[in-house]
Structure 1
Amino acid sequence: MFPPAHRLRTGREFAACFEAGRRYHGKAFLLFVLPRAEANAPWRLGMAISKKVGNAVARNRVKRVVRECFRLCAPQAVAGLDVVVVAKKCLDPRRLDLHQAISDLRPLLIRMAKDLDRPAWPGSVDPCDAP
């Protein structure tokens, strides 16, 4: 779990991201990104995983993998942003692992970083390849 400062919690926070945030489409995920009012504010992550993805066990697996991906890879790229990750129904949660999540989220985060003029990915090496 992320600390409360790094979580989107209320419906208003999610609605603001959905309505005013920029969209980035990937194969299995859709990102909604909204810059926060304070530039030095911590990043916040929210997830919208519908029942179309699977049962509660499958949805929780997707959430765990996405949280780990952001924990390892995204803090530099998403500083001062609210990010909502939406899992598409084509995602197979039984086959989802950290490598697959990173391979789908990485291009989205790089594109987002270019659009917002931020550092893209922390290094050119995939964090899953590190020992």
Structure 2
Amino acid sequence: MKKEFRVKKNKDFQEAFKNGNSFANRQFVVYSLRKPDQEHFRIGLSVSKKIGNAVTRNQIKRYVRQAFHELENELNQKFDYIIIARKPVAEMGFHEIKSSLIHVLKLSRVLSKHKAGYNEKQ
């Protein structure tokens, strides 16, 4: 994921927590904050040490980034997204993580209609 697609600064995370809308399911909490002056979305990831060791946490982050990369044409581009992973994510594979993210993004109404052929397990 390119640098311009990432939220890195603590100030940006805190702004999303304070002013953004939050939606959650068992696996993820997603904060979305509208940024009208932005050309494309940005994502920030938070995976706690409680979830697993560094290898597990980095794998989860790679899976989430890849899921967002595959969904980028269907996401509302004028938002910052902060994704917080919860404990059940540690035992999930890529397709389960993507399915869970699609579910929570649909709840937050930032995901346009997803491809009809995709089989969701939520």
TM-score by length of 2: 0.87
Which consecutive residues of structure 1, in runs of 5 or more, have no partner in the other structure?
none
Stretch moving more, 77-86 or 67-76: 67-76
Q: Within 5 Å, which residues of 2 pair with 1:1-131?
A: 2-38=1-37, 41-89=39-87, 91-93=88-90, 95-113=91-109, 120-126=112-118
CA distance in 2, matches of 1:64, 1:34: 22
- State the alpha-carbon separation in 1 of the partners of residues 10 and 111 from structure 2: 29
Measure the CA separation in 2 of the matches of 1:43 and 1:80.
6
Q: Which runs of 4+ in 1 moved over 4 A?
A: none
Provide the rounded CA distance (Å) in 1 between the counterparts of 2:76 and 2:116: 17
Change (3 A) 1:21 1:54: same
C-alpha contact (below 8 Å) 2:105/2:111 kept by paired residues = no
Unmatched tracts of structure 2, length 5 or more: none
Provide the rounded CA distance (Å) in 1 between the counterparts of 2:16 and 2:8. Answer: 12
Query: Alpha-carbon deviation of 1:66?
Result: 0.5
* Counterpart residue type for residue 87 of structure 1: A
How far off is 1:55 after superposition? 0.9
| C-alpha RMSD of the superposition | 2.0
Identity %: 24
CA separation of 1:119/1:106 partners in 2, compared to 1, >3 Å: closer, same or farther? closer
Residue type at the aligned position of 2:103: P
TM-score under structure 1 length normalisation? 0.82
